Structure formats: C-alpha cells, structure tokens
Amino acid sequence: MKGTTSHPPSIEIFHAQKAGEGFFSWVATVDHKRIGILYLLTAFFFFGVGGLEALVMRVQLAKPNNTLLSPDAYNQLFTMHGTTMIFLVVMPTLIGLANYFVPLMIGARDMAFPRLNAMSYWFLPFGGLLLHFSLLAGGAPSVGWFSYAPLSETPFAPSPGVDYWILALFALGIGSISTSINLIATVLALRAPGMSIRRLPLFAWMVFVNSFLLIMALPALNAAIIMLFIDRQLEAHFFLPSHGGSAILWQHFFWTFGHPEVYIMVLPAFGIISEVIPVFARKPIFGYEFVAASTVAIAILSFGVWAHHMFAVGLGQPMDLFFAASSMMIAVPTGVKIFNWSATLWGGSIHLTTSMLFAVAFLLQFTLGGLSGVTFAVVPIDWQVTDTYYLVAHFHYVLFGGSFFGVFAGLYYWFPKMTGRLLSESIGKVHFWLTVIGFNMAFFVQHFLGLMGMTRRVYTYPDYPGWGLLNMVSTIGAFILGLSVLVLVWNMAVSLRRGTPAGDNPWNAWTLEWAASSPPAEHNFDQLPPIQGRRPLWDLAHPENPDEPEASGGEPESKRSDRNKTGMMCFIASEAFFFIMLLIAYIFYNFSQHPNPGAQWLNPLKTGIFTFCLLASSFTFWRAEKRLGAKDHTGFLVWLLATLALGGVFLVGQGMEYFELFLKGLRAGTNLFSASFFMVTGLHGLHVLVGLIWLLIVLGFALAGDFKTGKTESVKTMGFYWHFVDVVWIVVFTAIYLVGPVS
C-alpha cells in the first residue's frame, strides 16, 4: 500500500510483535491488539466448554424417556450453557474484535485507557473461574440463565451455585462496563484527523452505539443480582412472595438488562456484516446513514421492549399491547438493515469467499430469526409458543445463525490481519457448509417441536408422535455443528503453520486497518493515509475517482473530546442508572405496599446534619480545584483535607445511624423497608468510601508535589465523581428521609 511500510508476514501470531515475548509479556500486556487476541482465545475456550455442554444435552434428548442424565445434572447443563455462551463467549468475542479493530479502523495508536483495558480483560477469566468454581462448591447453578425468583432464592435453591453465578456476573459486568467506557472514549477522543463521526467504519459505529447500550443495561442486571444476593446472604425477601416480596420485579429488572443484551450480542455482528458485504461485493455500503441511524433507533427502542419476555406473566392487556407495539417497531430498523445489505449485493461484483458465504448465510438466517421474533410480538401467538422449542429455535437463529455467523464472517475476514496469514479457503468452505447444514438441522426442526407442544428446559420427554424423530435430527445436526468447529480449529492451525502470507490488504478493502501491516506493528501505523471519506484506501487507490466527500461524511470535524472527561462521564452515567434502579426498588417496596416497621426510627434532622457535611464537601472540593488552578498549592492541600474530613464525618454519621438501628433490632432481613434502606444507603456509603480512598490517593500525590506542574486533569476527573456521589445522596435523602415510606 502507498503511504505505509510493509512488514514481512510473521510465522507465528505469538511472536508477531517485537515489544515483548513469552508468556508474561502476554499477561502484562496493555496493547489493544494483544488484549483483543486474549479476549478471542478465552472466548474460544469457553465456546468449546459451552458447546460440549450443548452436545451432552443433545445426547440426553436424542431419544424419548432417556435416563442418561439426572434432572439436576441436565438443569445445571442448560443453565451453564446459556450463561457461558452469553457472558463468556458472545460478549467477549465481540468485545475482543472491537478491541483489536476499533482503534485500527479509526487510525488510533491504542485504546483511550490501555491499562483499564487490561483490567477489563482480566475480569473475564476471573468471572469464568468464579462461575465454574461452583462445580467444586456443591454444584453449578441449576435455575436457568435468567434465574427467575423465587426459584433462585434460598428455599428453592439452597446450594451456593446461584451465589457463584451472581458473583461471576458481577465481575464480568465490571469488565464489560469498563471496556465500553474505554471504547466510547476511544471513538470520541482518538479518531485520526479527518475521521469524522459520519465517516466511522460501520463496525466502529455499531460498537460505539453498543457500548452505550452496555453501560446503561448492565446496571439493571447489577441492581437485580445485588438484591438477589442480599436475599440469599442476608435473608432479605426482595423476591420472595411468601414474605411480601415480588417475583415479578425480578423479571422487570432482569429483562431491563436482558433485552438490550440481545442487541448487545447482535449489533457488533451487524457491524461485521456491514464491513464484509461491501468489500466482497466490491461496492460501498448501500445507505450508510440508514444503516448507522437504524442502529441508534434499535439501541433506543431496545430499552422499551423488555416486557415482551413477560407476556405470559399476566401483566394485563394494556401493558402487553404497549410492549407488543414497541417490539414490532424495533423490527422496522432491523428490517432496514437487512434491505440495505441486500441492496449492497445488488449490482455488485460478488466474490464468494468463505467470509462472504458466512455473511450471506447470516442474512438469510437472521431474517428468519427476526421474522419468527415478529411472531412473538403478536401477543396471542406468544401466549401459545413462548417457553417452547419454537422459542429455543428462534433465539438460536438470532444468536447462532446471526451473531456467530457474523463472527465467523469477521474471523475469515480479519484473521489475516491479526496473524499475517490467510485461512485456507478450501478448508473454510468445508467449515462453512458443515456449519450451515449442522446449524439448520439442529435448530430448524426445533420450530416444529415447539409447535407440537414440546416445552423448553425439559430433561426428558414422553414418546409422543414425531418428537423422538425430530429430536434425533436435531441431535445429529448438533454433532455436525460440533464437527464444523473442529474443522475451524484445523483451518486455523494449518494457517498458523503454513498459511499463505496475506500481505497488508489481501481483500483490497478500504478501511484503515488494512493500511497497517499484517499483523500490525505494536504502534499500529507508521503513517496514516489521508482520510477524506469513508473509504480512505479506495480514495488512495483511485485518485481519479474518489468517493465524493458529501456522500461520505462531509467535512471532517476537528474537535475531539477529552478522554478523561468522556470516560468519567460515561462511568457516572452508568452509576446513575444503577442508583436509579436501586431507587425504583426502594420506591416499589416502600411507597406502594403495606407499611414496614422501622421507618419511624429514621431521624431526618440528625441525618440532615451529616447530609450538610457531605454537601459542604462538594463545596470544599470545588475550592480545592480553584486553588489548584491558581497554583496555590497550600490552599489546595487545605481544601482537600477539609473535603476528606467532611466526607469522613458523613460516613461516621452513617455508621452511628446503622448502629442505632441495629440496637433497635433492625437487620437487612427484618422486612422490605430495612432491606431496601440498608441496600440503597449502604451502596451509596460504599461509593463515598471509594471516593475517600480516591481523595487520599490524590492527597498522597499532592503531598509528593505531583500537581505543581499544572497537570491537573486527574483532580478534575476525581471531582466529577465526588460531586456525583453528593448528587446521588440528595436524591436518596429526599426519597428516604424527607418523603419517606408511606405508613
């Protein structure tokens, strides 16, 4: 390529980079490309685990009345299969690809926060280990991946499997939220000159939108699992109807996360398809603006459709109808994407590479899965077929036929960039056809099983007419699918040993990652080509016929966000959603139900005084910042100490309040008031504590003279957090002490 230096293709992916070699260089790496590969390898490992779990289940279901597995073993398997595939396979695979390619596609040197990036990754194996540690501690969770309460509560699930499930999801959530913050800050702050938002490659664009979904959806899951954990560990009853709790609130909270999660698992795959189809049809994407804007529409709508998972709960017909309408509306922007991809094919010059074959199969299978999804939005149909194998077929068409096929398309497309070597096209085609045949055999027949009355999550079934045959077909399909994965492994192994050297741009693609060497140097680019449109490498290769600037994103924006501020704002937004969920729970349990004794012991005046201290600490911090700005180092230190002291007083006050309530006999498990009170104020107190530790660190740096040079961003960033914690307290104080539980 012009404007770049080409490196000789390397033999081994693991020796590709000069920066460091050996095992520990991978453990300690902060390079986004290595972290991306770590994500992909870890996800691939768990793909094997989750896939084997699926195969064991299919063996059990191959014939009627099979007794190979005990009911509990089967229930553990499907719980682990779902949890593994969602949290340890699909999400990390897509995050891994985003990690590797988003910085390259926008012409950046690395992610915005490389060390945070490494931390995010290490939460993945940690979370995976936590989840699987349950096997040594009395058995894996066996309540399904959405852990419906009260089945997931201690009386019905006494073994600690669910507790490990909660801890694992919490750890994985921390990793996902920090990666998302990182990706948003990367896209907003680190784009190369000329790479305007409207010129972002669609993969980067969809990852960007997806990151917002993640930081807003995961707090709902975190709130729900923290409440379940309090129920299980502190004997509260948030979700135990026998003690006044609500089984339905769990479902609302879970699906507030769970439905955006479905799009979280599919939007980046949409992004991959939007890269692969144009390159192999040799045409720019048809309707870039519509593909991009429909992503935003899907993201927004995805927060308004959660209760379509709950049509059979009996929420009432007005509620059902509202969610039917929103669920149907989300099909419109999804359809727009399908039509634009199909139109990109039309009039192209189509190269049916393995990558393209997977993309085309994605189009058809995802359309089928999307349309069966529409049938679920027609509520009476949902009433008949939800919780049957028709549903199992539907979401596997979306997640395997969609997401996984997208990932495979991306893998064949980008593997040469990551390793410097092409995957074999002939083995690739064997892999493709085995995958298509195995997948459709395994899952298409499941539609019929569902319509014939077979419910999901059954470890055995009676010998009804047709059931045994269709299940056997499905099992055979699953094994063909398993075989296809072995072919993929073989293909990768062959390629790594003696694959054809790829060169920088084997597909004549147009986005910036192909301007780097294959694999890219640790610093990514020696020199970037000029970016005047959406397809910089097309413009470079066709100076006589470049994309018109208007048709490809208009004039570049020169302004770039500040990465620290952006990152902190995203974190605060995510935290705000978390506290909103907690407050919704507090209001739900205290404003609409019978009075819970204990609230009368709260003392608004006394707590008001401590509240004043906390608010005053915001003021003192603001003064500290001002003094720092005026280069008055002593003044800065004094105000900082005052902030620390006031924050400390607030925590002491909260401790005293807890102690008094404790002496009066109030515990987290006493009633719903005490549980929600201790939860909301306690989690806020924990945030204050984190803030105080952070302040101490700032103080330490200040005493060491760190901010004298005028580099004060870290203090400012800390300030956003501290003020946020105070604002949260104003809301909490108003809700709990001023308005109070209605009694």
Partner 1 sequence: MNEALNSVFHSESPQAEVISGLFILVLIVCAVILLIVAAMIFSSLARFRHKPGGLDPKPRHGNWKLETAWTVIPFLILIWFLTLTAKGMKESNPPSDQKPDLLVISHQWWWEARYPQSGVLTANEIHIPVGVRWLVGLESADVIHDFWVPRLAPKMDVVPGHPNRLWLEADKPGNYLGTCAEFCGAQHAQMHFLIIAQSPPEFEAWVEKQGKPPPRGLTEGEQKGSRLFQSMTCVNCHTVNGTPAKGQAAPDLTHFASRQTIGAVILPNTPENLARWLKNPQAVKPAILMPDFKLTDAQVSGLTSYLESLK
Give the footprint of partner 1 on residues 437-456 (CB under 8 A). 451-453, 455-456
In degrees, rounded to 5, the angle at the alpha carbon of residue 36 between the alpha carbons of residues 359 and 166 is: 95
Q: Which of 440, 446, 437, 444 is nearest to 483 (CA)?
A: 437
Q: Which phi-psi region, left, alpha or beta, contains residue 693 (left: φ > 0; alpha: ψ -120 to 50)?
A: alpha
> Residue from 156, 601, 659, 662 that binds partner 1 (CB under 8 A)?
156
Using CB under 8 A, which residues numbered 180 to 239 contact partner 1?
Answer: none
- Tell me the three state secondary structure of residue 461: coil
> 305 or 492: whose CB is closer to partner 1?
305
Determine if 381 is a binding residue for partner 1 (CB under 8 A). Answer: yes
Q: Does 317 bind partner 1 (CB under 8 A)?
A: yes
Under the binding rule (CB under 8 A), the answer on residue 433 touching partner 1 is no
| Phi, psi (degrees; rounded to nearest 5) at 524 | 75, -70
Cis peptide before 150 (omega within 30 of 0): yes
Instruction: Mark 685-714 with x for binding to partner 1 (rule: CB under 8 A) and - for no binding.
Output: ------------------------------
Q: Which of 52, 135, 312, 690 binds partner 1 (CB under 8 A)?
A: 312
Enumerate residues 263-302 that contact partner 1 by CB under 8 A.
281-284, 286-290
Count Cβ atoms below 10 Å from residue 659 Cβ, excluding itself. Answer: 10
Q: How many residues does the chain have?
A: 743
Of residues 88, 184, 360, 702, which one binds partner 1 by CB under 8 A? Answer: 360
**Binding residue for partner 1, selected from 6, 242, 603, 743, defined by CB under 8 A:** 242
Cβ-defined contacts of 586-591 (< 8 Å, 24+): 586/676, 586/677, 586/679, 586/680, 586/735, 586/736, 587/735, 588/246, 588/249, 589/238, 589/672, 589/673, 589/675, 589/676, 590/672, 590/673, 590/676, 590/741, 590/742, 591/741, 591/742
Q: Which is nearer to partner 1, 452 or 699 (CB)?
A: 452
In angstroms, rounded to a whole number, what is the distance separating the alpha carbons of residues 223 and 257? 10
In the complex, least distance from residue 451 CB atom to partner 1, rounded to whole angstroms: 6
Q: What are the tokens at 258?
A: 């769970």
Q: Which stretch in 25-33, 242-250, 492-500, 703-711 sits in contact with partner 1 by CB under 8 A?
A: 242-250
Asked if 532 is part of the footprint of partner 1 (rule: CB under 8 A), the reply reads no
Q: Is 469 in the site for partner 1 (CB under 8 A)?
A: no
Strands annotated E in 402-520: none
- Does residue 654 interact with partner 1 by CB under 8 A? no
196: left (phi over 0), alpha (psi -120 to 50) or beta: beta
> 235 in the Ramachandran plot: left (φ > 0), alpha (ψ -120 to 50) or beta?
left
CB 589 within 8 A of CB 227: no
Residues 17-76 within binding reach of partner 1 (CB under 8 A): 70-72, 75
Stretch of 219-227, 244-252, 493-501, 568-576 lying at the interface with partner 1 (CB under 8 A): 244-252
- Contact with partner 1 (CB under 8 A) among 42, 178, 179, 372: 372
Rounded distance between C-alpha atoms, residue 492 and residue 44, angstroms = 12
397 versus 571: smaller Cβ distance to partner 1: 397
- Binding to partner 1 (CB under 8 A) within 335-354 occurs at 335-336, 338-340, 342-343, 345-352
The yes or no reply on residue 470 touching partner 1 (CB under 8 A) is no
Q: Which of 29/367 has CB closer to partner 1? A: 367
Of 66 and 714, nearer to partner 1 (C-beta) is 66
**Rounded least distance, CB 225 to partner 1, Å:** 18
- Residues 6+ positions from 727 with CB-CB distance below 8 Å: none
Instruction: Give how many residues touch partner 1 by CB under 8 A.
Output: 91
CB-wise, 596 or 611, nearer to partner 1? 596
The CA-atom distances, in angstroms, between 36 and each of 32, 267, 286, 605, 651 are: 6, 18, 29, 53, 41
Instruction: Figure out which of the listed residues 53, 261, 547, 625 binds partner 1, where binding follows CB under 8 A.
Output: 547
Looking at beta carbons only, is 152 or 590 nearer to partner 1? 152
Indicate the residue among 185 and 345 with the shorter CB distance to partner 1: 345
Q: How far is the CB of 128 from partner 1 (least distance, A)?
A: 24
- If the CB atoms of residues 426 and 634 are measured against partner 1, the closer one turns out to be 426
